[in-house]
Structure 1
Amino acid sequence: MRYAWLCHPVTVAGVVVLLINDHLLKQTWPGFVTGKLSDVAGLLVAPALLALLLPRRADLAATVLTGVVFALVKTTETGADLASQVWTFVGGPSRVLADSSDLLALPALALAWWVRGRGTGPDRRHVMIVTMPLAVLAVTATSAALGHPTTVAVEENDGRITVRTDTSSAWLSEDGGRTWTPTSGAYDGKAPRTAQCVPYQATRCYRVAANRMAVEQSDDGGHTWRPSWAASPDELERLSRQYEPHDRLESVALAVQHRPEGHVVVVANGADGILVRDTSGDWRRVGLPGAEPPEVDLALERDVALFLAACVLFGGVGAGLRRHAGVYTGFAAAACVSVPVIAGDPFDPGGFPAHVAGLGGLPFLAALLALPVSGAVCLGSAIAGRARAVPVAVGTLGAPLVYLSVYTPFQGWAQGTPASHAAATALAVLLTAVVLLAGAALVRNDARRAHLAGTSTSSPT
């Protein structure tokens, strides 16, 4: 019954709708229709998928739990934030928004329950082998982080500083850039001010550096210039992973304001928002006040972590095989390669290596078929080959540890700790090496004990 529910034509149709809608239609036609279509299809598929993880005769619990979790995510900021973190961890940078209007999709649970009642007949496990990975991919399809406006101009008038964007949004400060208030007003399109001298101090001037995220200053009225502020290489690396390639990551305009205690400089830093030099001379990146910046894209590091975790899982099990090692190794290699391909976006050629990017979603479809087949063959080989318990345990427990060892340092780097990508890489290598060496030692000791046991058994008495 449980497999029949997941393999029912209506549920399979929901899986297909989720895949097409979340990976293609939402990017092409974002809006109310594609958003609600995703909610309806997700509520149709999720109970059947969740039922596979719960004890038998828990279909009603799976349906109710799906509705409760959906309601909490859509009606509370805490639920939406937790869902965003989970989806980011599973599938890369994503954002889930609390929107009570999405509760209109809840009647889809009634359809899911109706489908369950008609999912009678024998468990179609051979169909489930293909359906389940598709369903998991569909349900965990990420919601892209929301786009952010780009600052394009700075205006100073009567002690008020206004930073305008390429949309109708703007920010206003009346205290020299210490606090900001959202306001409105479309940018008039005039050429922005890119250089200005300090009022009542004509020898000190500032200008934005051409095509860079940097500001220069002059102490001789503009005859010579030297760097005053520039984004560090690691800051630029993070920013390039937060925004799309077409977003402007450069300082584009500025304004200088005289204050009783000195002067301030406010810079429009393109997609990164607002940059402020306070009266003490310290520079501070403000960003877009009140707006949460996009998540740092760690897709490359995530894919490496997934690949190494898959290698540890299949490698650990394979190390304990007594027979069928050759067949197992070939299919295990195919499974390991398939994992990072499936983790990427099948409709985004940029998510694939350059030599396969031109093939579009072909590598994804091939991997989607190869992974369940390879996994099934490896499982059968492990059972038939009588894999020893210790290597199997090492592979099963070591895989998530390796994933965390590789991925966690880069998650910290995305938040600013450690400060450099090189330090995060070194930490990831160190942690991964410790896990791999510990696992290798356990497997080696188990192999030695198995060899000694076999030798003593075969010796004449």
Structure 2
Amino acid sequence: MRKSALAWIGHPLTVAAVVVLLLNDHLFKGLWPGVVTGKLSDLVGLIAAPALLNLLIRRPWLSILVTGAAFTLVKTTAMGAYLASQAWTLAWGPSLVLADPTDLFALPALYAAWWIWNHPDPGAERLARAVVVIPVTVLAVSATSQSERYRPYSAYAVEVTGDKIVVAIRGYSSSDAYPKAGYVSGDGGRTWYGQSTPLTLNPQTSACVADRCYRIVPGRLKVEESTNGRWVTSWEISPSDQDRLGRAYAPDSPEDAEAAESMAIAVQQRPDGHVVVVANGADGIALRDVSGAWHRLSWTEHGFDAAAAVSLPVPGKYDDSVSTTALLAALAAGMAALVCGARRLDFGAASLLTWVGIWLFSGSRTDLLSHVFFLLLSLGMVPAGLASMIVTGMRAGIPFRVWAIGAATTAVTYFAAMTPIYLWSAGHLDHYSVGVGWSVILGCATAVAGILTVFHFEYGNIHLK
């Protein structure tokens, strides 16, 4: 029996692996988080990925080899995990892939992929099935798995009690075996130990010792000190670095976000000088030692540590919804260009059905029932819409150049919209709001340019007055 790339990806077992992957990542992991659902994604992903990769490589043995080598590199090396994180971040927004050698137990699933290739299904190569399976497989293999839920830790109050410095914190992670209410230091902030009993502290915005006073600046990571009645800056993080730093601690839900800003301050007099401690929200604490040097200390399993502080300047971390919104806008721009070239109502309806299905699929919902409902609905709408676009497009005789312009408009609009966000993340733009503003302007400009290009080729030159 003749074997082909479409027959492989359209094989019932490949389709079954894709369905399990989607259900596991979007449903089972939320219901039953743990080792079983975590490893299941690796198993079925290794079955589906080679078939998808083979659409490009067209060498089955090489597709399986590349898949296995890449999986091994990601799971066993820090560099591989880093590169995977960057690739997922570029495609889908900020993501984190962790090296975990125990995941290598899933590698035998590649034999299942090889077996499927060597035992093609007679009806697997039909165009209709391929049209349905390919986009769903791309979404399934590319989707990031659900990570553990957490709320960023936040140091919101600090107080000196006798010879001890007490910092109250809030926040949580699903991996916390023993949640802590705060950290305590008895040696001027050099070492810390956790405290689980609830703390009731009265946050202060200023504190004094001898003839010197300190105060925080509301909304800033900044401390001023007063000597002889004159306030001067003692320590600060620049507004642009603070803007990126505040987004480095992204929670699972926007309502769980914690600000990275100075919230409380305390001063401790010691025999060899004085120590200043500032509760800086999601960034941890700032500590002025007895020598007068300031240090940023962040979270570790054993307390605050300067080595754990996020380095400055910090790359800006943007929410997943940013890249999702850019992708949806880019798809809308590309489909609008195609509709202008097709000039058919049924093609426009099919395009709209596809876009709505993708929008429903990409939506983030906390309610499990609605999440499952819209996921299943989108899995029906997207393949049906794509199939209808292909069929109606072929009937309309849409020229290849229109398809090319539509695809190019989608790609260019996406990267035009995301480039200012990348520039902000890298520190080339000072504030996130500036990046968003330029993202909207460039995205709209490229979308309009794509539509006008279709009109130029299909309806003649357009002269704008």
Same fold, TM-score > 0.5, yes or no = yes
The 8 Å contact of residues 47 and 62 in structure 1, kept in 2 or not, is answered as yes
Shift of 1:437: 4.4
Deviations 1:26-59 (A, max 9, x none): 344443333222211211221122222322xx11
- String of CA shifts for 1:414-441, please: whole Å, max 9, x gaps: 5554233432233123323442344344
Cα 1:264–1:441 change in 2 (3 A) is farther
Determine if contact 2:336/2:451 at 8 Å carries over to the other structure: no
SS at match of 2:144: coil
| Matched residue, 2:130 | 128
Supply the AA of the counterpart residue of 2:321: L
Q: Count matched residues.
A: 430
Correspondence for 2:57: 54
Partners of 2:9 and 2:48 within 8 A in 1: yes
Aligned counterparts of 1:86 and 1:191: Cα–Cα separation in 2 = 44
Aligned with 1:303 (options 307, 324, 340):
324
Match of 2:429 in 1: 418
8 Å CA contact retained: 1:145, 1:295: no
Query: For residue 113 of structure 1, what is the aligned residue in structure 2?
Result: 114
Q: Among the aligned pairs, what percent are the same residue?
A: 34
**Residue equivalent to 2:302:** none
Distance, in Å, in 1 between the alignment partners of 2:70 and 2:161 is: 50
- 1:338 maps to which residue? 357
Counterpart selection for 1:290 from 305, 308, 313: 308
1:172-191 paired onto structure 2 within 5 Å? 185-189=193-197, 190-191=199-200
| Cα distance in 1 between the residues matched to 2:187 and 2:411 | 50
Given candidates 199, 218, 235, the residue that maps to 2:209 is: 199
Aligned positions of 1:308-319 closer than 5 A? 308-319=329-340
Structure 1 Cα separation of the partners of residues 389 and 134 of structure 2: 18
Q: Distance in 1 between the 2:187 and 2:427 partners? A: 28
User: Which amino acid is the alignment partner of residue 113 of structure 2?
Assistant: A
In 2 relative to 1, CA 75–315 (structure 1 residues): closer, same or farther, beyond 3 Å?
A: same
State the secondary structure of the residue aligned to 1:53.
helix
Q: Give the aligned partner of residue 69 of structure 1.
A: 70
Q: Deviations over 1:65-103 (max 9, x none)?
A: 110010111111111111112222333332110122221
| Cα separation, partners in 2 of 1:392 and 1:15, compared to 1, 3 Å | closer
Pairing partner for 2:141 from 139, 142, 147: 139
CA gap of 1:10–1:217, structure 2 versus 1, over 3 A, is same
Write the deviation string for residues 262-311 of structure 1: whole angstroms up to 9, x where unpaired.
96633233433234568999998665453769984534332332222222
Which range moved further: 144-153 or 95-104? 144-153
- The 3 A distance-change label for structure 1 pair 176 and 417 is farther
The residue aligned with 1:11 is 14
1:101 corresponds to: 102
- Alignment map for 1:211-230 (pairs within 5 Å): none
Find the counterpart in structure 1 of residue 399 from structure 2: 388
Rounded Cα–Cα distance in structure 1 between residues aligned with 2:352 and 2:291: 59
Q: SS state of the match for residue 418, structure 1?
A: coil
Contact kept? 1:194, 1:208, Cα under 8 Å: no
Distance verdict in 2 for CA 1:11–1:420, change over 3 Å: same
Q: Which runs of 5+ in 1 are unaligned?
A: 221-227, 350-356, 452-461
Of the structure 1 ranges 381-390 and 167-176, higher mean CA displacement relative to structure 2 is found in: 167-176
- Deviation by residue 1:138-168 (Cα, 9 ceiling, x = unmatched): 2222135564762547587999978686667
Q: How far 1:340 sits from its partner (Å)?
A: 2.8
| Pair 1:405-2:416 in alignment | yes
Q: CA RMSD in A?
A: 4.7
Q: Which moved more, 1:20-29 or 1:38-47?
A: 20-29
Kindly indicate whether the alpha-carbon contact (under 8 Å) linking 2:250 and 2:257 is maintained by their aligned counterparts in 1: no
> What TM-score comes out, normalization by structure 1 length?
0.75
Is residue 335–residue 371 contact of structure 1 (8 Å, CA) maintained in 2?
A: yes
Partners of 1:310 and 1:247 in 2: CA distance = 30
Alpha-carbon contact 2:93-2:321 (below 8 Å) kept:
no
In structure 2, how many angstroms separate the alpha carbons of the residues matched to 1:109 and 1:328? 39
* 8 A contact 2:248–2:316 mirrored in 1: no
**Pair 1:375 & 2:376 matched:** no
Contact conserved, 1:205 with 1:217, CA < 8 A, in 2?
yes
Per-residue CA shift, 1:187-233, capped at 9, x if unaligned?
153434634734333x6254797xx887887969xxxxxxx989979
Alignment partner of 2:338: what SS? helix
Normalization by structure 2: what TM-score? 0.74
What secondary structure does 2:57 align onto?
A: coil
